[in-house]
Chains A and B, each alone.
Chain A
Amino acid sequence: MIVADRKPLDEILEMVGDANRILVSACNTCVTVCLAGGRREAAVLASQIRIHAQEAGRTVEVRENCLERHCDAEFLAELAGELEWADVMVSTACGVGVNLASEVYPSARIIPGLNTSFFGATDAPGRWLEMCGGCGDCVLHRTGGICPIVRCAKSILNGPCGGSQDGKCEVDPDTTCAWQEIIDRLALQGRSAELEAVEPVKDWGTSHSGGRRRRIVDEVFQAEGEGEA
């Protein structure tokens, strides 16, 4: 899932400026699970904005809603009426949602209420860990399912580096060396010999450094898609 954090209220208020009609729109998917931008978190933010305005002697109207997903235009259709009313919309969806909503409603002022952080998984209630960097050229088959791109501080593909001590990372001694974990996992699977193979230079052309990426499923896109500039 996509993991995000709520922005500090001050930052959100600065973006909202002197708008009087504010819509806080939540997303019922990833950011609900990571307790950053679901219905409940939107209710908290909306309440904070109202309280802040009261304390400042200002009158603002704040509405809240929650869409099933902000990353599909079909669901964003629900926003049309509310955006006619609102001076500004604070989205508590991830950055994908803010991008798409801004594309669907180009004349609306839509601002991010979250800092979108990473692709992760729930480690314990209230804690999420990054698992994948979305590099577009996955090597997990080689590393026992442990991503060296995000779990190794240096993103080394032929690790470990020389700084690993007692299985801990030299960048942060509280963090287990990802390559130690990879070595242990491959040993567990009886695949230690595979560590001798050298992983060739990675094709970073599939990562985000080459600009916006696309994924197209031909048979669907040709039948229903309208193309993209």
Chain B
Amino acid sequence: MLSKDTVAFLCANGGQLLDAAYPEVLGDAVRVPIPCASRLDVVHVLRAVEQGARRVLVVACPAGNCRSMVGPDEAERRLHRAAALLREAGSHAQCILARAAANAPEDLRSTLAASLEDAANQIEEAPA
């Protein structure tokens, strides 16, 4: 279950529709609709962390399913860049890209489950 310390950027053509139909998947995450995942800017991610997010999620469309063709790839590149900038600033906030169509909540659930497990492992591995 996601809490308010997760900020989810939702593509208006996919992620936002998914969330409207299956709101339980994102739980209490703070939702931010964006016109397309490709409109994500690294500054959006940094600002979210600045304002308290410990996890930033971008819900983009699956490959080949994007109205703007390259939205998920652009989002992925920017999310990688944002993650590098966050690490440089000493933040351990997690950046997650999920590719899920509006009618595929399972895809989003499984990405989230894997990422949350990853984060738990990272915390376990972190030196005391």
Q: Which residue numbers of A lie inside 8 Å of B, CB to CB?
A: 8-10, 40, 43-44, 47-52, 54-56
Contact = CB atoms under 8 A, between A and B. Distances in A.
22 contacts: A9-B88, A9-B89, A10-B88, A40-B43, A44-B42, A44-B46, A44-B85, A47-B46, A47-B47, A47-B49, A47-B89, A48-B46, A48-B85, A48-B89, A51-B86, A51-B89, A51-B90, A52-B90, A52-B91, A54-B50, A55-B89, A55-B91
Contacts of B49: 47, 51
Closest 8 CB pairs of A and B: A47-B46, A48-B89, A51-B89, A55-B90, A52-B89, A9-B88, A43-B43, A51-B91
A9 B88 CA distance: 7
Contacts, number: 39
Interface string B39-71: 001110011011000000000000000000000
A47 B91 contact: no
Q: Is the interface of B mostly helix, strand, loop or mixed?
A: helix
Q: Is the interface of A mostly helix, strand, loop or mixed?
A: helix
Interface in B69-88: 85-86, 88
Interface of B: 41-43, 46-47, 49-50, 85-86, 88-91
Contacts of B85: 44, 48
Given A8-B88, A9-B89, A44-B85, A50 B43 contact: no
Contacts of A44: 42-43, 46, 85
Contacts of B43: 40, 43-44, 47
Contacts of A51: 46, 49-50, 86, 89-91
A52 B86 CA distance: 9
A222 B43 CA distance: 47
A137 B43 CA distance: 43
Contacts of A43: 43, 46
Nearest to A45: B85
Nearest to A47: B46
Contacts of B42: 44
A49 B90 CA distance: 10
Interface centre among A10, A40, A44, A50 (most CB of B within 10 A): A44
Contacts of B86: 51
Nearest to B49: A51
A55 B86 CA distance: 11
